[in-house]
Structure 1
Amino acid sequence: MSITVTPVHIGDLAGVDLPVYIHVIDHPGGRILVDTGLTALHSMVEDMDPRLKPVGEWGLDPASVDAVVNTHLHFDHAGGNHLFAGTPIHVQRQELEDGRHAEDYTIREWVDPEGVELQYVPEDGEVVLAPGIRLMPAPGHTRGSQIVVVETDEGLVVIAGDSAVWGAELDDPQTEGQRLIRALEPTAVWMSHAAEPWRPSTS
């Protein structure tokens, strides 16, 4: 069995005209979910007018997930973490600190939901999550952002979270994380707010 990456559309931020995707990695050793989207509305982000799909319509059974990766802890990337009690959730230690303590950073009660004990695994830098899957710090969008680097049959694929929101940011990389992604020379880069991956120009 090869390693595959599948996007899952879980809703839209209508106020800023952006879709929201999470990504499923199917690996011979198990299933990894990258980011958990959002599952509820909150007054803190009502200006973004979230339009959400019910979890039952995601086509993804939370019980089928063996590990979760949060690229970062903004509300639209960690809002479904409460569904994964007992499942390891890998996040950079800096990001977990900021998500829990920085002012006006995210929705804190979604990072540590009341009555739900989440199993965060704080990472300090690059780590091999499974054969063919690496986590790499990619500062830029947040101090603690990370990307997921996946070796697939089509070549190296990156799941970028919000390290790049639009493909144009990878055409002209400005942040440390964007430059890292380009240096990896990936075949494709999946972003959290795009239906199709960015691919390098062949011209």
Structure 2
Amino acid sequence: MQNSQTGGPLIYALTCGYITLPTSYFISGEEGKTRVPACVFLIDHPRGLALFDTGFSDRFIGMEKGLGKIVEMPDEHSIAQRLRALDVDPDKIDWIINSHLHLDHAGGNHMLPNATVIVQSEEWDFGFSGEDGAYAKEDFDTGQPVKRIIGEHDLFGDGSVILFPTPGHTPGHQSARVRTATGEAVLAGDCCNFRRSLDEMRLPEAVYNADHYRGSLQKLSALRRAGAKIFYGHDPDFWETVPQAKELDLRAVQ
């Protein structure tokens, strides 16, 4: 795959596993459980290939104990297999943009050996602190080059892919604005789990910093009012409407 167009990067949506958790983990005040996707995006830019998050690790394939009771990871869902299905060599990925380092967002990092990981510096430090059990060091402490950033970062230097801080879920969470030929996409990650999270300004039941999380939702709300299409981090209903493994036309995204 090689983007030779001049209208901006191309985006492809990929599902890299599922996890079932109490719904209140994603939006407060809700009962029951919800099965949600691990959402990954391939960004094909003329200057290189980037992934926004990498889903679950392939170590969950076939696992039926421990986390395997709540994580579903078919073999074809690993990021390496998802890329190969698009005729993309995992060795050719240049950049991994980790929204944060939880195991459903950084699990596939090790399958992309030549990629440089881009992460907010505060997130990198927090991942090693041991304060949050959703981090697994084996997922992100892989020996790959790591570019630690602080604040906004223009990935390709042309304004088409801008990383920006959206803390609250974790201290160093970040999202991405991607300007394509068909509009602007905001890859939210876990700063906004469901469409309802943004519509109703509702936080998850447990957050690292509620004030920061609320501020991140407000930032996304302003972007949505300005016309950006928000890709909510774990919304199963929204995700069903997003074409998988195909070039996304943002004009068709609801």
TM-score by length of 2: 0.70
Structure 2: give runs of 5+ residues left out of the alignment: 22-33, 203-213, 243-249
Q: 1:134-162: CA deviations, max 9, x gaps? A: 00000121111000111112222101111
Note the aligned Cα RMSD (angstroms). Answer: 2.2
Match of 1:193 in 2: 234
Which has more strand, going by share of residues? 1
Q: Secondary structure at the match of 2:172?
A: coil
Match of 1:164 in 2: 192
Given that 1:12 and 1:51 are in contact with CA atoms closer than 8 Å, whether structure 2 keeps it comes out as yes
Looking at structure 1, the residues matched to 45 and 97 of structure 2 have their Cα atoms a distance apart, in angstroms, of 14
Looking at structure 2, the residues matched to 74 and 169 of structure 1 have their Cα atoms a distance apart, in angstroms, of 20
Question: Percent identity among equivalent residues?
Answer: 28
**Greater RCO structure (CA 8 Å; 6+ sep):** 2
Match of 2:51 in 1: 33
Q: Indicate how the Cα distance of structure 1 residues 177 and 45 shifts in structure 2: closer, same or farther if over 3 A, else same.
A: farther
Given that 1:30 and 1:66 are in contact with CA atoms closer than 8 Å, whether structure 2 keeps it comes out as yes
Matches within 5 A, 1:136-155: 136-155=164-183
Q: Secondary structure at the match of 1:181?
A: helix
Matches within 5 A, 1:72-111: 72-103=100-131, 104-111=133-140
Given that 1:5 and 1:23 are in contact with CA atoms closer than 8 Å, whether structure 2 keeps it comes out as yes
Match of 2:222 in 1: 183
Q: Indicate how the Cα distance of structure 1 residues 148 and 141 shifts in structure 2: closer, same or farther if over 3 A, else same.
A: same
Q: Write out the 4+ residue segments of structure 1 that deviate beyond 6 Å after TM superposition.
A: none
State which drifts further: 180-189 or 50-59: 50-59
Q: 1:117-143: CA deviations, max 9, x gaps? A: 211111111111112110000012111
Looking at structure 1, the residues matched to 166 and 38 of structure 2 have their Cα atoms a distance apart, in angstroms, of 20
State which structure, 1 or 2, has the greater radius of gyration over its C-alpha atoms: 2
Whether 2:147 is the aligned partner of 1:121: answer: yes
Q: 1:82-111: CA deviations, max 9, x gaps? A: 112332110001111111123224112212
Q: Indicate how the Cα distance of structure 1 residues 44 and 140 shifts in structure 2: closer, same or farther if over 3 A, else same.
A: farther
Q: 1:15-74: CA deviations, max 9, x gaps? A: 541122210111121211100111222766334233333335412531231211000000
Looking at structure 2, the residues matched to 127 and 180 of structure 1 have their Cα atoms a distance apart, in angstroms, of 16
Q: How many pairs were matched up? A: 195
Looking at structure 1, the residues matched to 125 and 227 of structure 2 have their Cα atoms a distance apart, in angstroms, of 30
Looking at structure 1, the residues matched to 66 and 170 of structure 2 have their Cα atoms a distance apart, in angstroms, of 19
